[in-house]
Structure 1
Amino acid sequence: MIENYNVFLLVCGIAFLFGALFPIVFKRTPISLPMLQVSFGLLMGYWWTTLSFLDPIDNGLIIEKLTEIVVLVSLVGAGIKIDTELSWRLWRPTIRLLLITMPIGIFAMAALGYYAFGLSMGAAILLGAVLAPTDPVLASSIQVGPPNTGGEDTPRFTLTSEAGLNDGLAFPFVYLAIKVAEALSAGQRFDGEMLWSWFTHDVLWKIGAGLMVGIVVGKAMAKLVFSKYSQETPISQGYVVIALTLVAYGLAEYVESYGFIAVFVAAFAFRRSEHQHDYHQKLHDFAEQSEGLLMSLVLVVFGMLLGQGLQSGIELTWRVYIVSFVFLLLIRPIGGFIALSGLGLPHSEKYAISALGIRGIGTLYYLSYALNHGYFADDDALKLWVVCSIVILISIFMHGLSAPKLLKITPSKPPST
């Protein structure tokens, strides 16, 4: 990569130029920016034969850290732009998606991974865990608009809040996969005692502590930013966004909880403080631009990885495509319909929410994070990367083409409290 550094910078510069000109050039086309950038990266990876092979297994740590930053910025941006107040009635669709749809997706994909691809039990659980959560990065185009701009209808709010929370709530199942793989690699049996330890620590403690850290950090930062002293000398929104993200994440990880949950909750708690203040708009603008730049970089590199894989002749069996389409077209939509039944939502809204379960950069983070622990066999790791990459690629194009039409027919707003 070093010997091609200058050319790589040129490729990234072109990708950023796509982002700048996209609203002008492609305004009247069904093409989305992620579709364009992944396609560009794929072509570069396929035809740029002098580029060193971007092996996702060998470069797992780099992928983990890069995608981690992108997801964090996306989570803080999602939390800041939500106008809807915290209310059981308004958040019921989100809670049902988290408690019903996501477990259905995890179980179904784990079963498909085990029986269709011959994955070990730990790898099969990991496949379900990394693909079940919707992506807060690639889903930004179907989320609610900037703070205090209105237009926060039920589908957009539900998809925004789901993407903000389920990335953190998928972590217990990632840890379950890691612990199962660790036990199997050591020749042990994953017994009831290990399962109880996982439930009490990785589920109850880490989720609860992540929520508390997020609330405390969000409220404390809001008191500081909106104090009478800061009104006289406004604080830079860039510093606040980064500080809110890193303080919440760092503190949550320090107390061994889930940093992703803490960051989204901190951003939402900050947003609910002085929620009509125009300062939230400035925070959102900074977070959105930062997210867009980082997303462009990751998508181009992801496309290059796909292009190199095709050029090197990595085998893609019919099972990969069938399972990918089954997951995106059947498992997620059916799970969404089950979760949203009985809420009185129009059929078009239920279909839009259920169908737009976008997979993306969050999946890349979880997969690299788990594989970097070293408990999964190389054969399983390769299968996981191939399946997840194809699911993400199909999701980018399928949801990119269908999202505008699906969201156009769902104009209603959440009921008022």
Structure 2
Amino acid sequence: MTQLSFTYTNSPYKAQQLIEFNDPGLFTVELYDVGLLVLGLIVLIAVILPRLVSDRLMVTAPLVYMATGALLFLLPWAPTLPDLVDDAWWPKRLTELGVIIALTSAGLKINRPFARTTWTVSWRLLAVTMPLSIAFAAWLGWWLAGLMPAAALLLGAVISPTDPVLASDVQTTAPGQPDDSSTRLALTTEAGLNDGLAFPFTNLAIAVALVGLAPSEWLLGWLIIDVFYKIIVGVLVGAVSGWLMAQLFFRFPATRGLPKTMTGIAVLSLTLVPYGFAELLSSYGFIAVFVGACVFRDVECSHEYHAALHELSEEFERVFVAVLMYLLGAYAASGLLGHMTLPMWGLVVCIVFLVRPISGLIGLVGSDLPRRKRLAISFFGIRGIGSFYYLAYGVYHAHFPEAMSVWAIVIAVVTISVFVHGITARSVMNWVATERN
């Protein structure tokens, strides 16, 4: 009797299998094929979901992606997920692509001039709120969850980037649409820059893991290279790349009629060129991508082509968010959260509901923002793709004995953040809009 098989193996050619083993191999499946099918289904969900989710519902697309990942992983044929510590290269590269596409999209959304007044609130969030969040989270990780200093510092660094992409209701509007919300502008610009400014603190955690806590071993090199050189060069590369590409797109005579069929190529070039040059100069590509997109938008801020570029960049972004949120749900359902202890859950709650709100309010002390706007900005410390990238980056470059525990904490933080901030975003923003200045 012919025995049919359903395995995740590298199956031989079907005719050869029939001749040698009397098995047609009709139901022999390779893991690669299953992966392609799952990826296709995720992308399909990302395409049709915005049409199905009503504006009146509090359910957001990332929540649906996470639930889908958890449900699919619980099926009996779900494959074994790669280890996030031993195989840190693949989450590092996958999240890296997701972040730079999101940064391009965020930069193209900045509807204000690329001037000092645009960043008034953002500088407070970057210079005060972000370092405070890192310090508070690291201290709580050491004191409450019992993490070693290097792991605690890594935790503080990786949860510092905010990610409004996962709650679209707090982003600025698309190019060409009016938006006078200082709250949306502050959250979008903060997220665009702190996705790059988390690098020095992640590198600091790596240095502590490699050489110890003694500042004499790392302080001078960290300040010169990781803080000053890489940030300054990243900003310069982004500004120059964005300006030059804008000249080619909008000022060069042959580009008067910008073809919409080339929009995809334009988005990729606007993302990859600044990133590639910045990385070749050993600076921060994330900063270069966001600054490049902002400068590019600022050169011809009213040009209709920005809307087409932004629309396609959002489509790329939506696909990456769908894939990454699916994987988040899958890992959460795989038993990774079994590493969590009661103190670690307490740490997660503190990070989401205390660390960011308190740090945000401190950073906004003395600003001329109305009370509701200060509260909303402080509350929406949304964690997401950037946190996954920096954690994978840190684990890839140094050995952290408690890496799996940090992964569990970060996955729990992002899961709760996506849920809480996602379902409250629309109502909170409506509440802010009703306040009289």
With the shorter chain as reference, the TM-score category is over 0.9
Q: Verify the 8 A CA contact 1:81 1:284 in the aligned structure 2.
A: yes
Q: After the TM superposition, which residues 83-232 of structure 1 pair with which residues of structure 2 at under 5 Å, given as runs?
A: 83-135=111-163, 137-184=165-212, 190-192=214-216, 194-226=218-250, 227-232=252-257
- The amino acid of 1:228's aligned partner reads P
Q: Is the 8 A contact 2:206 2:398 kept in 1?
A: no
Q: Which residue in the other structure is 2:323 paired with?
A: 297
Q: Deviations over 1:201-241 (max 9, x none)?
A: 11011111111000100000000011221114647121111
For 1:343, the equivalent position in structure 2 comes to 367
Cross-structure match for 1:9? 36
Q: 2:289 aligns with which of 255, 263, 270?
A: 263
1:238-277 correspondence runs (5 A): 238-277=264-303
Determine if contact 1:209/1:257 at 8 Å carries over to the other structure. yes
2:60 aligned partner: 32
Distance 1:191 1:233, change over 3 A: closer
CA distance in 2, matches of 1:58, 1:136: 30
Partner amino acid, structure 2, of 1:409? W
Q: Which position in structure 1 is the counterpart of 2:431? A: 409
Worse-matched range after superposition: 235-244 or 347-356: 235-244
Query: The residue matched to 2:373 in structure 1 has which SS?
Result: helix
Give the corresponding residue for 2:309: 283
- 1:408, distance to aligned residue in structure 2 (A): 1.1
What is the Cα deviation at residue 139 of structure 1?
4.2
Flag the 1:30–1:140 CA change in 2: closer, same or farther, 3 A: closer
Given residue 274 of structure 2, which amino acid in structure 1 is its aligned partner? A
Which residue is 1:370 aligned to? 394
The two structures have a TM-score, normalised by structure 1, of 0.92
In structure 2, do the counterparts of structure 1 residues 357 and 50 end up closer, same or farther at CA, with 3 Å as the change threshold?
closer
Shift of 1:4: 3.3
Amino acid paired to 2:104: V
Which structure has more RCO (C-alpha within 8 Å, separation ≥ 6)? 1
Offset of residue 119 of structure 1: 1.9
Q: Output aligned runs, 1:44-59, within 5 Å.
A: 44-48=72-76, 50-59=78-87
Equivalenced residues, count: 406
Judge which range, 335-344 or 46-55, deviates more.
Answer: 46-55
Distance of 1:307 and 1:155 partners within structure 2: 35
Do 2:169 and 2:426's aligned partners in 1 also have CA atoms closer than 8 Å? no
Distance in 1, matches of 2:125 and 2:398, equals: 32
CA deviation digits over 1:71-123, x for unaligned, max 9? Answer: 00000110011111133333211110001110011001111111222222111
Kept after mapping to 2: 8 A contact 1:70/1:137: no
CA RMSD, 1 decimal: 2.0
- In 2, the alpha carbon distance for the partners of 1:273 and 1:253 equals 24
Unaligned runs of 5+ in 2: 1-7, 10-29
2:100 corresponds in structure 1 to 72
Seq. identity, %: 39
1:20 aligns with: 47
Which residue of 2 is the match for residue 383 of structure 1? 405
Q: Which amino acid aligns with 2:162?
A: T
Contact preservation (8 Å) 1:137, 1:361: no
How far did residue 141 of structure 1 move?
Answer: 4.1
Q: Residue type matched to 1:251 in 2?
A: F
Do the aligned residues in 2 keep the contact of 1:73 with 1:245 (CA within 8 Å)?
A: yes
Task: Verify: 1:324 aligned to 2:348, yes or no.
Answer: yes
Distance change (3 Å), C-alpha of 1:315 and 1:203: closer
